[in-house]
Structures are given as C-alpha cells and as structure tokens.
C-alpha cells in the first residue's frame, strides 16, 4: 500500500467518551505532549476531563470540541511517532474533525486550534437559546428526499435545512425545533426507516448558526494558517484545498454550512484515488459511514496504540 492511496480522516462531535486518549498518553511521549500542550493552551486540565470526566462536563459543547481535537491529534502524533506518519496523501475531518485534519496537515498549530474550537463551541451554544433549535437524524431516505422533507417542513420564519449528509441514506437536519419536529413526522410518513430528534443543545450547521459564524470569523482571520502539507478535503465544498487561506475560508463557512461528508468521501475515493480510509481518533463512527459510501475500499480505525498493527495490512480488511 502506497501513501498516494491512503486518507486519514478525523471524527467530529459525538465520538467523545470518558477515558479517550489515556492509552496514548500512557504509551506515547508524543501523544502525552499533545495533552500537556492542550492543558497549557486552555489554562485548565483538559487532559483530566478527557481521562476521568465527569461525563456531563465532557458533553458540554465548549468542552467536547477541544477534548475531541486533542484526543484525535494525540492519536495522530502517536501514529507518527510509530513511523506511520507518511502514509496519508490527503486528510479530512467531520465538522470539528476538520480542525484535527488541519493540525495533522501542519496548516494550523495545535494550541491555536484548541483556543479556536473552545470559542467555537461557546459561540455555537450561545447562538441559539436552548429549546429554540433542534436536530434530527433521518435514515432510509435519499438526500434528495430528505431535502424535500426539510423544505416542506419549513414554514415562514421557521426553517429546517440539511446539516450533515453522512451517507446516502443517513442525513441530519437542523433548524428551529418546531420545523425539525414537523420534518421528523413527514419523514416517517414518507417511508423513513428511522426519524428521531437528536439530544443536542443547538442546531449545528444550519442558518441559525450565523451569529456563531460572525463571532468566530475574526478569530479565524487573526489565526496563522500555513499551506497544508497534504491536501485537506473540506466539509463545505467536498473538495481539496492546498493553501492556508482556502482552509481558513472553508472553516468560516463551515459554521453555518452543511457537512457534505458523503461527497467528501466520494471525492477522495474518486478523483483522489483513495482506496484506504484510516479514521484517527476516538471511536469508529466515520469508519462505519465510509464503508457504506466507498464500498470496496478498505476502512479502518486507529483509536488506540493497539490498533497500529492494522496499518501494516494484516487486519485492515477486518470488521472493527
């Protein structure tokens, strides 16, 4: 397997769990340094929150985002330390995971990224009062069908829009709670296998996040972005960027724009000739999605030092 065929992808919010990254911290000096850098950058023991919780604090958006970022970057640095850092010729991340991808691509400094996502989480939470917005997962309908549902559920000032296109038959909607609830009912009527409201505190990646985008934009413009070492496939365009300026612009638009994950994976599997997707960081959510999107491609996750052997090819075809 050559580097030109491998993509590293990084998870987003929802993959967090208490205890994440502790095995990397214990067994990899490079990973340990990432956690120490995070604690210093944010001025509190983020590492302790990752390792010990409490879970209710870890689940707060302003904590979840930097915690997942450092856990993913620590895993990546442990992977590099073990000699696998040159495998990937392209990187991507789901929502928050795009920051992890940019750090891995040397486009963004970890300390800067941590401060940005900490504020990103705060701004997203502040953008919409609790109870006003909502999100829902729809399974078993095509993206086009879910788009029609969202359009029909929107009413006047109450909007419902596509937020995450995770796979052809798994889509997330976001917007004003009454409109999203109408969309859930419509999706069920139209044959969805599953249509449920999600237990989230804000309608991420929807037009309701415009205040968060406005608050984050000046911080992103002030941050130092370098040209990435390898192309980064962005959520908003599902296309690779190769300059720091383009990466910054994509992060600005990502706040209130949809996550086009299906198209991103299709672009990597198609034009970028990727035939192996390696999820780096906690969990294996993206590995499951990628198997459904890029059928026939190898998809695996590296969430623990014990997983590193998969990169040698011995078990990369195995189901995780």
The CATH code of the domain that includes 155 is 3.30.70.250
Measure the CA–CA gap between 188 and 79, rounded to whole angstroms: 43
Residue 113 counted as domain residue: yes
Q: Could you tell me the pTM of the whole model? A: 0.95
Residue pLDDT, tens place only, 103-142: 999 999 999 999 999 999 999 999 999 889 999 999 999 9
Smallest CA-to-CA distance from 171 within 199, 189, 148, 155 is with 148
DSSP 132: T
Q: Are residues 114 and 14 in the same domain?
A: yes
Q: Are residues 194 and 214 in the same domain?
A: no
Domain boundary (166, 200, 234) is at: 200
Number of domains making up the chain: 2
Domain boundary (200, 226, 255) is at: 200
Residue pLDDT, tens place only, 7-50: 999 999 989 999 999 999 999 999 999 999 999 999 999 999 99
Measure the CA–CA gap between 15 and 29, rounded to whole angstroms: 24
Q: Are residues 113 and 159 in the same domain?
A: no
**Contact indicator for 100, 15 with CB cutoff of 8 Å:** no
Q: Are residues 114 and 9 in the same domain?
A: yes
Domain boundary (200, 225, 248) is at: 200
Radius of gyration over every alpha carbon of the chain, rounded to an integer in angstroms:
19
Residue 64 counted as domain residue: yes
Q: Are residues 121 and 137 in the same domain?
A: no
Measure the CA–CA gap between 246 and 262, rounded to whole angstroms: 21
Q: Are residues 67 and 47 in the same domain?
A: yes
Measure the CA–CA gap between 163 and 209, rounded to whole angstroms: 11
Residue 227 counted as domain residue: yes
Buried b / exposed e across 134-149, counting CB within 10 Å, b at 16+?
bbbbbbbbebebbbeb
Residue 179 counted as domain residue: yes
Cross-strand partners of 170: 139, 167
Residue 318 counted as domain residue: no
Residue pLDDT, tens place only, 151-202: 999 998 999 999 999 999 999 999 999 999 999 999 999 999 999 999 887 8
Measure the CA–CA gap between 255 and 248, rounded to whole angstroms: 12
pLDDT of residue 156: 86
Q: Are residues 98 and 149 in the same domain?
A: no
Q: What is the CATH number of the domain that holds 23?
A: 3.40.366.10
Residue pLDDT, tens place only, 54-101: 999 999 999 999 999 999 999 999 999 999 999 999 999 999 999 999
* Backbone φ, ψ for residue 80 (5° rounding): -65, -45
205 is catalytic: yes
Q: Are residues 213 and 248 in the same domain?
A: yes
DSSP 158: B
**Contact indicator for 22, 51 with CB cutoff of 8 Å:** yes
Domain that holds residue 57: 3-127+209-312
Residue 24 counted as domain residue: yes
Confidence of residue 315 (pLDDT cuts 50, 70, 90): very low
Q: Are residues 160 and 112 in the same domain?
A: no
Residue 180 counted as domain residue: yes
Q: Are residues 193 and 216 in the same domain?
A: no
95 is catalytic: yes
Tokens, residue 156 = 């006047």
Q: Are residues 116 and 228 in the same domain?
A: yes
Give yes or no for residue 314 having a pLDDT over 90.
Answer: no
Q: Which of 95, 154, 167, 264 is catalytic?
A: 95
Question: Which residues does 189 contact at the CB level (< 8 Å), separation at least 6?
Answer: none
Measure the CA–CA gap between 19 and 72, rounded to whole angstroms: 13
Residue 317 counted as domain residue: no
**Contact indicator for 34, 74 with CB cutoff of 8 Å:** yes
Give yes or no for residue 309 having a pLDDT over 50.
Answer: yes
Q: Are residues 191 and 234 in the same domain?
A: no
Cross-strand partners of 6: 276
């Amino acid at each position: 397997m050559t580097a030109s065929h491998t993509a590293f992808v990084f998870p987003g919010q929802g993959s967090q769990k208490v205890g994440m990254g502790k095995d990397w911290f214990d067994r990899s000096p490079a990973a340990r340094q990432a956690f120490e850098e995070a604690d210093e950058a944010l001025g509190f023991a983020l590492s302790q929150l990752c390792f010990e919780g409490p879970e209710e604090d870890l689940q707060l958006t302003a904590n979840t985002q930097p915690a997942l970022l450092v856990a993913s970057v620590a895993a990546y640095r442990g992977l590099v330390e073990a000699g696998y850092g040159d495998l990937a010729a392209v990187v991507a991340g789901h929502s928050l995971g795009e920051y992890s991808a940019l750090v891995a691509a040397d486009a963004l400094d970890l300390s800067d990224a941590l401060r940005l996502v900490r504020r990103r989480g705060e701004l997203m939470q502040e953008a919409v009062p609790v109870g006003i917005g909502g999100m829902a997962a729809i399974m078993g309908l095509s993206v086009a069908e879910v788009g029609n549902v969202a359009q029909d559920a929107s009413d006047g000032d109450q909007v419902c829009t596509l937020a995450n296109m995770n796979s052809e038959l798994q889509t997330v909607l976001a917007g004003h709670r009454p409109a999203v609830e109408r969309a859930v009912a419509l999706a069920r009527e139209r044959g969805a296998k599953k249509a449920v409201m999600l237990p989230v505190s804000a309608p991420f990646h929807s037009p309701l996040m415009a205040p968060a985008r406005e608050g984050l934009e000046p911080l992103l413009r002030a941050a130092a972005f370098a040209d990435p070492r390898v192309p980064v496939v962005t959520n908003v365009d599902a296309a690779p960027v190769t300059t720091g300026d383009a990466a910054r612009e994509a992060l600005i638009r990502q706040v209130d724009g949809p996550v086009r994950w299906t198209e991103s994976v299709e672009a990597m599997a198609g034009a970028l000739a990727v035939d192996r997707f390696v999820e780096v960081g906690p969990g294996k959510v993206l590995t499951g999605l990628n198997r459904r999107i890029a059928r026939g491609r190898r998809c695996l996750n590296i969430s623990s030092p014990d997983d590193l052997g998969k990169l040698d090819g011995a078990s990369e075809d195995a189901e995780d």
